[in-house]
Amino acid sequence: MTASELAISVEGIVRRFGDVVAVDGVSLAVAQGEVYGFLGPNGAGKSTLTRILCTLLKPSAGRATVAGYDVDSEPGQVRLRAGVALQEAALDDLQTGSEMLALQGRLYGLTTKATRARVKELTELVDIGEALDRRIGTYSGGMKRRLDLALALVHDPEVLFLDEPTTGLDPVSRAKVWHEVRRLNTELGVTVFLTTQYLEEADELADRVGIINQGELVAEGTPTELKRSIGTDVVIVTIAGEPLKARHVLESLDLVDRIEGSGSTLTLSVSDGPSAISPIAVALAAVPDVTVIELSLRRPSLDDVFLSVTGEHIIDSGQGAAISGSQQSQETP
């Protein structure tokens, strides 16, 4: 991609907080009109990099541009071209949704007429409905998220930053936010930089995914490319007995490309899952002190990718698949 085709360019960005390195030499590029999913556990550096790109934090080293403007030396130009919806929506519960949208328009220098026209467009684009005329304090969590999304779009930005936009939402509200993000991208061509800890969200929305762990970008590609990078199929083996003996036997099988995990559950990457099941079962049946409890086959997921590059699993947080942050770097509050 040429520089003119990039919506976001990040070159060796570092951010330190005292002795803690929250972002450690990250480089990435996002094309115009792309949805880029930035995936990682809490504390991995996602929000820190997002705040740098939104000009809310200065980088300790490196360079980044948004819509062609340097985030450090030209922050005002970046802010005119970027929309931002962070994890905590800055909403006034005493105002109505319409009042907040009108205020946002005036803050960006829109005329009263232009603001009214823009608010009308946004109410059709972002599903808030009659709630716009109610006080925000009466809104549900999903409605507040959608209003925050509309506020980020008042000035018709080229690039939209969404920092974990569906955290804490119920499945129905999450699906509505996903639908609106897709519409913004496909119908209006808005570039979206989406940080998330939900793999389903990244898989659903992102054209490409970058995985960050302990401040470093450890993998990048389309969801399909990332899944294929660890093998066509995944065999999950749950055993009772001696896991080291089982692992040793499985490692000797030519059809097994990679083994991840420890203890009673092992995840095997194989090129042909259906033909691998029988040899794996036969090999384990011949191991003394090992009993196969469960043997299952499935296609790779982003969970498998994340486990492969970070050594961490995804946990079910009640909102879909989320990432366990057992190894976390420190971020800003």
Residue that the structure tokens 């550096």 belong to: 45
**Architecture of domain 3-222 in this structure:** 3-Layer(aba) Sandwich (3.40)
Report the alpha-carbon distance of residue 118 to residue 19 in Å, rounded. 45
The DSSP H or E segment spanning 74 is none
Q: CA torsion, points 51, 53, 55, 58, in degrees to nearest 10? A: 80
The string of DSSP codes covering 21-48 is EEEEEEEEEEETT-EEEEE--TTSSHHH
Query: Hey, where are the domains in the chain?
Result: 3-222, 231-299
Contacts of 293 (CB under 8 A, 6+ apart): 238, 239, 240, 264
Q: How confident is the model over 116-164, as pLDDT tens digits? A: 888 888 877 777 777 888 999 999 888 888 888 889 999 989 999 999 8
Q: Please, what sign has the CA dihedral across residues 75, 77, 82, 88?
A: positive
pLDDT of residue 328: 40
Q: How confident is the model over 227-263, as pLDDT tens digits? A: 888 767 889 999 999 888 999 999 999 999 889 887 8
Token output for 141: 């969590």
pLDDT band at 1 (very low <50, low <70, confident <90, very high): low
Residue that the structure tokens 């330190």 belong to: 16
Bridge partners (DSSP) of residue 171 are none
Report the alpha-carbon distance of residue 270 to residue 286 in Å, rounded. 20
Token output for 206: 């992102």
CATH topology of domain 231-299: Alpha-Beta Plaits (3.30.70)
pLDDT of residue 322: 60
Nearest to 147 by CA among 191, 205, 89, 188: 89
